[in-house]
């Protein structure tokens, strides 16, 4: 490991190794080679980071920062992200195998999150209340919660971090970040920009390591709010931990989202949309449209068209702009995806295309799984109910609109849904009837910094993006002012 690139954690404005010297390797999923090593944080490191954030929140200059000051720093951070976007994109690709054609645009768009929440920092966040009490003025103010633990996943490490970091900082909180152990380097490279932008020491801290580090951070009594993106199983554990001390949480969790195709849809467009919904990012997105619900009248035609286009998807080097699908991010996830393919076969689903490693010898070292389509799937199968988080689409028949809604909503999740139809009345009905936090009509997988994102049911708690996100990082305080001897004698009701 001495020949690998070496990175350190950021705690209280200082770059540090782990207190016990421990580290772990970052593996490139395209060639299976280690390319960097990163500190494995200890309990001492986590405690130091939380205490640094607490000092910055309560005693440091951040505690007295004005909305204008926070907005200025966020705008500077946005400018620096734009200046360093190529490097930030390259590092993410080395870590998780996402495509340059996707990551480049996504990374450049991160600056827009900074600019949007810079504006939100200066937006009015209180209200005057029309009370029924004479000679009393009442109003509300929003104040930061305190120290925020931001625990982020490996599939879009910087985008999903900025979804948390920007509103948290705009509201006046301090932050301790714990990135996934699969993708820690991109967060550490981004952290170099905090000091350059002018954020005071301790306002933003980064600790790196595996699951136990995140558990330590979630359980730390100095953490006031936990913002987590990841699996529903881990999210439930975090919620239970937070409940012991009534810490605030926002959880963006798993999904098994339906992509519903009606007979009146533009079928070539719908096929392209379904392809994008499940095979973009190698299916490793919480919003992946992994359940493809197709009306029985067009089922066979659609499955054939979907399979033909799926077979044409070009796998290859994620840094090649011509590549259409990259690798699975890590060995554990690769093994999980292949195991679910075997589960689908054992359940009686029909393998239409894919289902194994590609045969191309140029891809032999990478964690590649062929884009896979199963048909003849019913909604009670495990492959239709459990989140695979990989390039596996299951196609399910439905008979009519009511049947589509019933199948779509018959899931523990409720993150997203797509609908493909030319019938505008049906589109509006489906938006109302689908139990999902986002519904796309004749498109899929679109997000933006102005649009709130989050799930129903076991897909999470709270919303990220949009002005709603500020509410997730603030507490509401009500103030009452006596403007004219409004207090009566409590022992003389006529007074």
Residues designated as active site: 252, 286
Q: How far apart are the first and last CA of the chain?
A: 81
> Would you say 395 and 412 are in contact if contact means Cβ atoms under 8 Å apart?
no
Residue with tokens 């139990």: 435
- At residue 79, φ and ψ (nearest 5 deg) are -60, -40
How far apart are alpha carbons 373 and 292 in whole angstroms?
A: 10
> Would you say 241 and 71 are in contact if contact means Cβ atoms under 8 Å apart?
no
What element of type H or E holds 418? strand 416-420
Which tokens in the block code for residue 93?
């690709």
Q: How many C-beta atoms lie closer than 10 Å to residue 187's C-beta?
A: 28
**Strand 23-28, strand 5-6: pairing:** unpaired
How far apart are alpha carbons 214 and 470 in whole angstroms?
A: 23
Distances (CA, A) of 116 to 105, 109, 163, 397: 17, 11, 11, 42
Count of alpha carbons within 13 angstroms of residue 241, beta-carbon side: 23
> Would you say 38 and 234 are in contact if contact means Cβ atoms under 8 Å apart?
no
The SS3 call for residue 331 is: helix
How far apart are alpha carbons 446 and 438 in whole angstroms?
A: 10
Which tokens in the block code for residue 75?
């705008």
How far apart are alpha carbons 267 and 420 in whole angstroms?
A: 9
Torsion of CA 446, 382, 455, 244, to 10 degrees: -140
Residue with tokens 């400018």: 79
How far apart are alpha carbons 181 and 388 in whole angstroms?
A: 20
Find residue 174's DSSP bridge partners: 147
């Amino acid at each position: 490991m001495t020949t690998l690139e070496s990175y350190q954690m950021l705690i209280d404005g200082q770059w540090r190794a782990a207190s016990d010297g421990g580290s772990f390797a970052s593996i490139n999923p395209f060639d299976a080679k280690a390319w960097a090593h990163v500190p494995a944080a200890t309990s001492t490191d986590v405690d130091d980071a939380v205490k640094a954030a607490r000092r910055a929140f309560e005693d440091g200059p951040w505690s007295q920062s004005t909305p204008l000051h926070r907005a200025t720093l966020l705008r500077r951070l946005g400018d620096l992200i734009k200046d360093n976007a190529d490097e930030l994109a390259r590092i993410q690709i080395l870590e998780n195998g996402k495509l340059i054609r996707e990551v480049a645009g996504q990374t450049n768009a991160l600056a827009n999150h900074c600019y949007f929440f810079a504006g939100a920092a200066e937006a009015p966040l209180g209200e005057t209340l029309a009370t029924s009490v004479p000679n009393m003025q009442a109003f509300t103010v929003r104040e930061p919660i305190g120290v925020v633990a931001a625990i982020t996943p490996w599939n879009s490490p910087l985008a999903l971090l900025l979804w948390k970091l920007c509103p948290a900082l705009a509201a006046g909180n301090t932050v301790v970040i714990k990135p996934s152990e699969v993708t820690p380097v991109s967060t550490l490279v981004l952290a170099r920009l905090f000091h350059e932008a002018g954020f005071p020491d301790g306002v933003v801290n980064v600790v790196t390591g595996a699951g136990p580090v995140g558990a330590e951070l979630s359980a730390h009594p100095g953490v006031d709010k936990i913002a987590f993106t990841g699996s529903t199983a881990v999210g439930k554990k975090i919620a239970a931990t937070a409940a012991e001390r009534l810490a605030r949480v926002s959880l963006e969790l798993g999904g098994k989202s339906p992509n519903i195709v009606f007979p009146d849809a533009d079928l070539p467009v719908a096929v392209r949309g379904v392809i994008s919904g499940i095979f973009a990012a190698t299916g490793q997105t919480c919003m992946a449209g992994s359940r493809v619900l197709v009306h029985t009248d067009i089922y066979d035609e659609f499955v054939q068209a979907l399979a033909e286009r799926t077979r044409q998807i070009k796998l290859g080097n994620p840094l090649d702009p011509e590549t259409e699908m990259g690798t699975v991010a890590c060995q554990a996830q690769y093994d999980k995806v292949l195991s679910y393919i075997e589960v689908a076969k054992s359940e009686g689903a029909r393998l239409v295309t894919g289902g194994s490693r590609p045969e191309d010898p140029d891809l032999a070292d990478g964690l590649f799984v062929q884009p896979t389509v199963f048909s003849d799937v019913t909604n009670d199968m495990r492959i239709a109910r459990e989140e695979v988080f990989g390039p596996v689409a299951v196609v399910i028949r439905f008979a009519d609109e009511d049947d589509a809604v019933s199948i779509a909503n018959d899931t523990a999740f409720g993150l997203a849904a797509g609908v493909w139809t030319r019938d505008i009345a049906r589109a509006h009905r489906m938006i109302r009837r689908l139990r999902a936090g986002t519904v796309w009509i004749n498109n899929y997988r679109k997000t933006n910094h102005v649009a709130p994102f989050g799930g129903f049911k076991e897909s999470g708690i709270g919303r990220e993006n949009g002005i709603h996100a500020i509410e997730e990082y603030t507490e509401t305080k009500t103030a009452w002012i006596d403007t004219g001897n409004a207090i009566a004698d409590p022992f003389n009701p006529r007074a």
